Chains A and B, each alone.
Chain A
Amino acid sequence: MKRLHLPPQIVRLVLLTIGIVGSYLVARYFLTPPSFGEYGWYRGSALAELASRDQVYAGTKACDECHSEEYQKLLGNSHKTLSCEGCHGPSKAHADNPDVKPEILNYSHCVRCHEANPSRPKWHKQIVARDHYTGDRCTECHLPHQPSEAP
């Protein structure tokens, strides 16, 4: 029987390919995270990592415990569906320890909803902030907890 004789170029290329694919497989074996594919195409341990992160939001109930007066005012007005921390920022640290002050507001959060945009419904109050008022304190004229009332 005639012995199969491969040309030297092909032999070297086959060896090189085996080398490249082999080192890839070795690298893949060591670099793939152990929990990968446990539940799907991601690291299974990522779920536990995300769940173990510190919470930053306290929730409206926690605000109500100390600031029930403001909260009751809010409930009686058109901003009643807004969460306290939507405007005041994440406040878990403040709720746990009142000495930690929450984020200082510069009132630019008002325009997040009230800057004019044709895609918002017509009944929604809208302004072009730059033409409307040049200062940065909306509360000089408006009461965010009771928007329908004048100060």
Chain B
Amino acid sequence: MTNELTNIVVEILPRFEGYVYPNEASAHPLWGFLIVLYPYITGLVAGAFIMASLVRVFKVKALEPVYRLSLLTALAFLLCATLPLLFHLGHPERCFEIMITPHFTSPMAMFGFVYAWYLMAVLLLELWFDYRQDFVKWSQTTAGFKGIIYRAFTLGVTDESDAAVRLDMKMGWILSIVGIPSAFLLHGYVGFIFGSIKANPWWGNVLMPIIFILSAVASGIALCVFNYMVLTWIRRHTVDMRCLDTMGMFLFYALVVDASVEALDWIHRIYSAEEGFNVIYYMAREKLFYTLSIGQAAIGTLLPLLLLGSLQLFRKHVPELVRRRMYFASASMMLLGVLAMRWNVVIGGQLFSKSLRGVMGYKLEFAGVEGWLMGMVLLGLPFVILTVFVKLFLSERLPSSGHEPHVNLPAAEKA
């Protein structure tokens, strides 16, 4: 044991630059890649839910085709949101203790309440009210194991009267309205955890929860665009261009607001130039150059802004195929950019010494609990769950936004 510890000192100290306290000599930051994935996944959940609420609360009819897909995406990712935290624990088998002895004064323990509220009281309920009629219909027509699942999901309520359907719709609407602040709470909470650490100049910032929420909305809408295009491609269906254009528009707006607030954060940091600024500036220029300047700023923000912005201006002059590719490229780049942003926040905040005069290093390993292989498995798992959800609950053709791309327009008008 003694020798293991001292060997780390010989390995690690030469990798440090500048003034780093001896007790900061650890092989890896305490929070590794898994903790990067946790805010990324919860952000995708919150964003996908906001996307769905555009249909229910803000009555954006053009987005009707992706309403259910967005909610199912949010659910699939929410079910995996706690897994990175679980695998990060030294004793994952003790995870149930947070529920047995809930605590109200620790912000980290509060996540149990936030998560339970969002999953049980918002997302599952909204999905249940939205699907109830379908469950009743499918439970009568489907046999075998699938039929049993559908019958169980009806909870024994087979009432399809007008009054019952009206109640379902009203409850869905109420839950969507409750869901918007809840989605903000879910992800604002994650930003709050970082933003309230006042000893760390990279994290301790009141804008942090807002930046987290806005980037979450942008990444969630990007994920819905990605999932919608992949699903239509797998099913060989035609993409509903009215829906996709509208998603692209909201994606652009979300990105504009997100980029503005993040720029405001940087301008404020540069202008106020507080005591930690030198080390922050060094980090941005050297240690995080690829993930911050290239990943987050160029690939995640500027390129999608250009692509989506030009589509807002010249949409009518761009052929459908090119537009589809531009939306897909923008969404994929934004998904990568927001992942890079989470990396910059979580890893960046641990790469400099508490002395603010020295920096450490971090090399992402391949295997191992915090390795990128594990990360890819955890990022792939929600897509596997989503595939099962789509098979079970989205087997029918997605509803149309009212636009048929391949109908000859003059003929349709005559009809």
Give the B-binding residues of A (Cβ under 8 A): 7-10, 12-13, 16, 20, 24, 27-28, 31-32, 36, 41, 89, 103, 106, 108-112, 115-120, 128-130
| Interface secondary structure of B, over-half rule | helix
0/1 interface trace, chain B 1-44, chain A, CB 8 Å (1 if under): 11101110110011010111110010000000000000000000
Min Cβ gap A120→B in Å is 7
Q: Given that A12-B156, A117-B20 are known contacts, is A7 also in contact with B6, CB under 8 Å in the complex?
A: no
- Which residues does chain B contribute within 8 Å of A36, judged by CB atoms? 101
| Interface secondary structure of A, over-half rule | helix
B142 part of interface (Cβ distance < 8 Å):
no
Complex CA–CA separation, A151 to B13 (angstroms): 29
- Which residues does chain B contribute within 8 Å of A7, judged by CB atoms? 159, 163-164, 167
For A9, give its contact among B3, B22, B164 (CB under 8 Å): B164
Complex CA–CA separation, A8 to B125 (angstroms): 15
CB within 8 Å: A-B pair count: 79
B287 part of interface (Cβ distance < 8 Å):
no
- Which residues does chain B contribute within 8 Å of A111, judged by CB atoms? 6, 9-10
Min Cβ gap B137→A in Å is 16
Complex CA–CA separation, A103 to B100 (angstroms): 42
Q: Is the CB of B157 within 8 A of A12?
A: yes
- Which residues does chain A contribute within 8 Å of B355, judged by CB atoms? 119
Min Cβ gap A34→B in Å is 13
Listed by A's residue number, 8 A-B pairs whose Cβ atoms lie within 8 Å are: A9-B129, A27-B100, A89-B2, A111-B9, A112-B9, A119-B21, A120-B22, A130-B10
Residue on A nearest B25 in the bound complex, by CB: A117
0/1 interface trace, chain B 141-168, chain A, CB 8 Å (1 if under): 0000000000000011101000110011
- 9 tightest A-B contacts by CB? A108-B6, A12-B155, A112-B6, A8-B157, A31-B100, A119-B19, A118-B19, A115-B13, A109-B6
B103 part of interface (Cβ distance < 8 Å):
yes
- Chain B, range 346-402, C-beta contacts under 8 Å to A: 353, 355, 358
- Which residues does chain B contribute within 8 Å of A24, judged by CB atoms? 99
Complex CA–CA separation, A106 to B3 (angstroms): 7
- Which residues does chain B contribute within 8 Å of A120, judged by CB atoms? 22
Q: Is the CB of A103 within 8 A of B2?
A: yes
Q: Is the CB of B10 within 8 A of A9?
A: no
Q: Given that A31-B96, A119-B22 are known contacts, is A16 also in contact with B10, CB under 8 Å in the complex?
A: no
B187 part of interface (Cβ distance < 8 Å):
no
- Which residues does chain B contribute within 8 Å of A108, judged by CB atoms? 3, 6-7, 10
Q: Is the CB of A13 within 8 A of B125?
A: yes
Other A-B contacts than A9-B164, A32-B100, A89-B2, 18 sampled, CB-CB below 8 A, are A8-B157, A9-B132, A10-B167, A12-B157, A13-B125, A27-B100, A41-B101, A106-B3, A108-B3, A109-B3, A112-B6, A115-B13, A117-B16, A117-B22, A118-B20, A128-B14, A129-B10, A130-B10
- Which residues does chain B contribute within 8 Å of A103, judged by CB atoms? 2
Complex CA–CA separation, A46 to B28 (angstroms): 30
Min Cβ gap A106→B in Å is 6
Min Cβ gap B2→A in Å is 5
